[in-house]
Amino acid sequence: MATYDLDEQEQLDSLKAWWKRWGSVTLLALAIAVAAAAGWRYWQNRTLTQSLEAGSVYQNLTQSLAANDAKAARAAGAMLIDKYQDTAYAPRAALLLAKLNVMGKDLKSAQTQLEWAASNSKEPFVKDLARLRLAGVQLDQKQYDAALKTLGATHSDAYAFRFLDLKGDVLLAQGKPADARAAYQAAFGKMAEDSAYRSIVELKLDALGGASK
C-alpha cells in the first residue's frame, strides 16, 4: 500500500512539474483552439446567411427582369454587387445587368459590369461567359485589340469554338479576312456535328471562300 501511495505521489509530483512548465502554453493552445472553432462556426453561419439573403435578392432581380421592371432589376443587381459580392449571385447579377445595359445601348456600363464579373466570379463557366460577352461589347465599340486580348484569356474547352468564332469576327472587322477565315475554320473543327453554331460558322466560311471541312 505504501508503494502504491509513493507511486501515486511521484505521478502527482511529475504532473505538477509538467503543469508548472507547460500549463500556460497548454491553456493558450486550448484557448486558441476554442476561438478558432467558434470563428469557424461563425464564418459558416455568416456564409450561409449571406448566401440565403443573396439568393432572395437574385430572385427579385430575375422576377423584375421578367416583369420588364428595369429600375427594380438595377436596384437588386446593384445590391448584390455591393453587399453580396463574395457570393456566386453577384457575378451572375453583373451578367444580367450588362445584358440590360446592352439593350439600352449603354455599352460602357455593360463593359464595366462584364469586366467585374470576369474578374470576380469563382465559377469557370461564368468567367468564360463574361469574357465572351465582354469581347462582344468591345467589338461593338471597335476596341479590337482589347477584344482579342479578352478572347486570348484561358478558357474551358467547352467554350473554345465560341471564343474562336468571335475572334474571327474581330479579325474580320480589322480587315484581316485570311486570319478571320483561319479562326472560323478552327472554330468549325471544334464543334460537335449537332451544334447550333455549326451552320452559322459555315456561312461565314462560305462568305470568305474558305472550306469548312
- Write out pLDDT tens, residues 86-102: 888 899 999 999 999 99
User: Of 49-53, 161-165, 166-170, which gets the smallest average pLDDT?
Assistant: 49-53
User: Residue 92, exposed/middle/buried by CB under 10 A (0-12, 13-18, 19+)?
Assistant: buried
**Ranges 10-19, 169-178, 187-196, most confident:** 169-178
Please check the confidence at residue 136 and state whether its pLDDT lies above 90.
yes
Does residue 69 register a pLDDT over 70? Answer: yes
Distance between CA atoms of residues 51 and 161, nearest Å: 33
Measured distance CA(86)–CA(169) in Å, rounded: 34
- CATH class of the structural domain 22-155: mainly alpha
Quick one: pLDDT at residue 10? Answer: 61
Q: Where are the domains of the chain?
A: 22-155, 156-213
Q: How confident is the model at residue 57 (pLDDT cuts 50, 70, 90)?
A: confident
Instruction: Please report, rounded to a whole number, the percentage of residues in the chain having pLDDT higher than 90.
Output: 56
Check residue 163 and give its pLDDT: 97
From CA 81, how far away is CA 90, in angstroms rounded? 5
Could you give the angle at which helices 198-208 and 177-189 cross, rounded to 10 degrees? 150
Residue 74, pLDDT above cutoff 80: yes
Which has the minimum average pLDDT: 104-113, 130-139, 188-197?
188-197
What tens digit of pLDDT does each residue of 102-134 get?
A: 999 999 999 999 999 999 999 999 999 999 999
